[in-house]
Structure 1
Amino acid sequence: MDVTDSAVLYETIGKTALITLNRPHKRNAFEAAINQALPAALMTARDDPGVRSIVLTGAGGTFCSGFDLGSLEEGEDGTFAGRKLVLGFHEWFAGLVDLQKPVIAAVDGAAVGAGFSLALAADFMFVTPRVRLLPTFLSLGLVPDLSMLYVLPRLVGLAKAKELIFCARAVDAQQALALGLAQVVVAPEQLLDSALQFARQFDDAPPDALGLAKTLLNRSFETDRQAMTQFEACAQSLCGASRYHAEAVRRFLGKEGLPYPGAKLPQP
């Protein structure tokens, strides 16, 4: 299935949905067309049982330059306009974070402000040597949004998150790798192929078990150990009764090899 919108391109490649922000003349900034098309593309990927993974990228050598400041509507009450705007984004952004399929952000060039937050919402980040992750909010007199205040400290620690946000400086590819924000750095001409090849390894992964694992991991920091133990036990009971598990056990005992041997990141 191929679904194309002028602002966001959607294509299925095997069992992977490739979603491309396609406003290069706006550096793929969040403006009205992308704000409408991106949630629709994510829902299409979520609801298609044939899609096992998602690769999210941007056209024209830029991932996403954040919110299009020139698209603010005049005449709104400025006191509440920002709140309305951010909460409007979260109506679909939470669905991306909680999407029960692996999401790989293939990031080339700049990921600025909310564009950086968008990349952080993925499970994996593949970057090129020319990537720049820019938490520029304070430079504009703003606080980070699209869950950066929640996600970044959990990825890099509170002190490092304060450093990145307070200093509002660019994070380059090697720094992103060292901080654990990115998994691999690849050449620009290999970025998309590397992300798709990695995504393809999830074709035979157990979708329900993977989805449950992602859901529980996303809540692990704010859930106490006893509660997580109960969630774990219930999830394991469901997975243990599945046909996928039964077939995996049969193949294991029969020395036929597991149906999902695991995924490997590309070598740098």
Structure 2
Amino acid sequence: MTEERAVVYAEDAGDGIRVIYLNQPQKKNAISAEMMDILTAQLQAADSDDGVRVVVLRGVGENFSSGGDLNQGDGGKPTPEQARKTLRRYLNAVRTIRSIAKPVIAMVDGYAVGGAFALTLASDLVCASERAQFVPAFCQIGIIPEMGMMKMLPELVGPQRAKELLFIGGKIPAVQMRDWGLVNRLFADGELEAQTMAFAQQLSAMPDASIQITKTMMNALSDEALGACLEAESTASPFCTTTTAYAKTMERFAK
């Protein structure tokens, strides 16, 4: 009998590389609050392990992640207080990616939607397949961009472009993301895994202390306002779920 994997699990790939898998392929790796709790714990464990030098974050199957899992909980409409408590579990994963010393490479195939897009922005490096597509998908369903996206995306692409992407949404092809500087390495579809691991091996071979100190210093310098952004999100986004526009959007999803 094959051992059933957790919804997020980690494996050591050798050469100081630990791979963390988002594992809900039947839902295109839609991310739940439970998954974000486990992801946070796995990231912290990797950071504490002297044998780990690089973390690769990926999805199982053909997609990185389809974004937030809309079918979690007991099926009832959560109160704003409950929604805020749940959202903070997602925000904690972003804080952890940014604060741990070990560099995190996001390996993106298929779709990276909503909060999954935000996870790639929070990562230190991004490798993507040519078929990968990045989808903001927050304002389009009636909530505000979450998981630090309003802080990180404008810094990477400029405020005007970020506003257009967040207001209008749509599918952003990986080649465009590379041209905007949001993807470090773009690989042919069938070569993504092998080439990403080769990239991770190259990074793992670098002097670990200098890499880790450089990451933590750069993130500390740029993330001074990130905590305030995440804290504001934890109240603003649950408020949006009480609006008429959001209710109408959810009715369309339910059909």
TM-score by length of 1: 0.77
Which residue of structure 1 aligns with residue 9 of structure 2? 9
Q: Is the 8 A contact 1:67 1:114 kept in 2?
A: yes
Distance 1:80 1:194 in 2: 44
Q: Give the CA deviation at 1:140.
A: 0.5
Q: Give the CA deviation at 1:222.
A: 6.4
Q: Would you say how many aligned residue pairs link Structure 1 and Structure 2?
A: 221
Q: Give the CA deviation at 1:178.
A: 0.9
Which residue of structure 1 aligns with residue 215 of structure 2? 214
Q: Is the 8 A contact 2:59 2:65 kept in 1?
A: yes
Residues 187 and 77 (structure 1), Cα distance of their counterparts in 2 relative to 1, 3 Å cut: closer
Letter in 1 for 2:58: T
Q: Give the CA deviation at 1:76.
A: 6.7
Q: Is the 8 A contact 2:18 2:56 kept in 1?
A: yes
Residues 32 and 213 (structure 1), Cα distance of their counterparts in 2 relative to 1, 3 Å cut: closer
Letter in 2 for 1:111: A
Q: Is the 8 A contact 2:110 2:132 kept in 1?
A: yes
Q: Is the 8 A contact 1:4 1:10 kept in 2?
A: no
Q: Is the 8 A contact 1:108 1:127 kept in 2?
A: yes
Which residue of structure 2 aligns with residue 66 of structure 1? 67
Q: What is the aligned-residue RMSD (CA, Å)?
A: 2.0
Distance 2:91 2:223 in 1: 19
Which residue of structure 2 aligns with residue 27 of structure 1? 28
* 1:172 is aligned to 2:137: no
Q: Give the CA deviation at 1:68.
A: 0.6
Map of 1:108-147 to 2, 5 A cutoff? 108-147=109-148
Distance 1:221 1:90 in 2: 17
Q: Is the 8 A contact 1:4 1:11 kept in 2?
A: no
Q: Is the 8 A contact 1:20 1:58 kept in 2?
A: yes
Residues 185 and 92 (structure 1), Cα distance of their counterparts in 2 relative to 1, 3 Å cut: closer
Q: Secondary structure at the match of 1:42?
A: helix
Q: Which structure is higher in RCO with an 8 Å CA cutoff and minimum separation 6?
A: 2
Letter in 1 for 2:47: R
Q: Give the CA deviation at 1:183.
A: 1.2
Q: Give the CA deviation at 1:161.
A: 0.7
Give unpaired runs (5+ residues) of structure 1.
Answer: 224-268
Which residue of structure 2 aligns with residue 193 of structure 1? 194
Distance 1:46 1:109 in 2: 28
Which residue of structure 2 aligns with residue 255 of structure 1? none
Q: Give the CA deviation at 1:69.
A: 0.9
Give unpaired runs (5+ residues) of structure 2.
Answer: 225-255
Map of 1:81-120 to 2, 5 A cutoff? 81-120=82-121
Q: Give the CA deviation at 1:205.
A: 2.3
Letter in 1 for 2:86: L
Residues 53 and 4 (structure 1), Cα distance of their counterparts in 2 relative to 1, 3 Å cut: farther
Q: Give the CA deviation at 1:33.
A: 4.7
Q: Is the 8 A contact 1:134 1:171 kept in 2?
A: yes
Q: Give the CA deviation at 1:203.
A: 2.6
Q: Give the CA deviation at 1:131.
A: 0.8
Which residue of structure 1 aligns with residue 57 of structure 2? 56
- Of structures 1 and 2, the larger Rg is shown by 1
Residues 173 and 50 (structure 1), Cα distance of their counterparts in 2 relative to 1, 3 Å cut: same
Letter in 2 for 1:12: D
